[in-house]
């Protein structure tokens, strides 16, 4: 079954704990945290303390998406915040191998994300060493954007490239009840959804239907 990862970026920041419980009770397996530095992307969000403070309140798998330049410099801040997985951007790393080693040494899973214009081929040399590939289906930086349909073929290519390896394929940006089934049909295992979940009148119902898009 497909995993649903609500993105906290679209939650009501005045009621974070309540919103996290709501999506957890509705069956979301992962919680997606978008960390932005105002350099790699033209926006700021929040930092490791938000992840750390929510950790005691949830058993969900904490999925941290770092949209920051040179993530190696930020990893000391994130290694003890309770993240299960830290995903960095291929484009932001001068030494991706060092990032992978740093996180694995601390028993944190490693993901690599690709902006829409970045070819999946760049990941070939790292396939035996990563746990997650995050395919951006919008330009990173903001929630609420429209899904880029041309990324569907990339999802398929990544699925073929990964083959039998134990790597999750995660999609992020513009995921809703219309686009989720297309992503799943092309091989996505994890659906990140911000606006579609948190801006809905009934987030639990959307989570249920996103799960059904994988059946």
- Out of 37, 63, 131, 172, the active site residue is 172
In whole angstroms, how close is the CB of 106 to Zn ion at the nearest point? 22
Q: Does 37 bind Zn ion (CB under 5 A)?
A: no
For residues 103 and 114, give the distance between their C-alpha atoms in angstroms, rounded to a whole number: 19
For residues 15 and 209, give the distance between their C-alpha atoms in angstroms, rounded to a whole number: 24
Cβ nearer to Zn ion, comparing 8 with 103 = 8
The token duo for 47 is 């930092």
Q: Does 192 bind ligand DX5 (CB under 6 A)?
A: yes
Cβ nearer to ligand DX5, comparing 160 with 170 = 170
Is 34 a known active-site residue? yes
Q: Does 170 bind Zn ion (CB under 5 A)?
A: no
> What is the phi/psi pair of residue 179, to 5°?
-85, -25
Is 95 a known active-site residue? no
Identified binder of Zn ion from the candidate list 6, 29, 34, 66, rule CB under 5 A: 34
Short-list 131, 171, 141, 129, CA closest to 154: 171
Q: Does 145 bind ligand DX5 (CB under 6 A)?
A: yes
Cβ nearer to ligand DX5, comparing 160 with 205 = 205
Point out which residues bind ligand DX5 (CB under 6 A). Answer: 7, 9-10, 32, 34, 65, 138, 140-145, 172-175, 192-196
Residues forming contacts to Zn ion in the complex (CB under 5 A) are 34, 65, 172
């Amino acid at each position: 079954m497909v995993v649903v990862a609500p993105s906290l970026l679209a939650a009501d920041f005045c009621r974070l704990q309540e919103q996290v419980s709501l999506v957890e009770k509705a069956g979301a397996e992962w919680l997606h945290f978008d960390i932005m530095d105002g350099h790699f992307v033209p926006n700021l969000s929040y930092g490791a303390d938000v992840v750390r403070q929510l950790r005691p309140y949830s058993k969900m798998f904490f999925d941290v998406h770092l949209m920051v330049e040179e993530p190696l410099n930020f990893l000391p801040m994130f290694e003890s915040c309770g993240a299960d997985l830290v995903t960095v951007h291929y484009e932001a790393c001068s030494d991706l191998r060092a990032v992978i080693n740093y996180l694995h040494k601390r028993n944190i899973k490693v993901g690599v994300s690709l902006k829409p214009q970045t070819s999946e081929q760049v990941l070939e040399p790292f396939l035996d060493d990563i746990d997650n590939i995050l395919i951006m289906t919008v330009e990173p930086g903001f929630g609420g954007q429209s899904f880029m349909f041309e990324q569907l073929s990339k999802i398929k290519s990544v699925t073929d490239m990964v083959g039998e390896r134990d790597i999750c394929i995660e999609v992020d940006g513009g995921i809703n009840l219309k686009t989720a089934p297309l992503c799943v049909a092309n091989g996505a295992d994890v659906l990140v959804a911000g606006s579609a979940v948190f801006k809905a009148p009934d987030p639990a119902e959307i989570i249920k239907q996103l799960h059904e898009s994988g059946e």
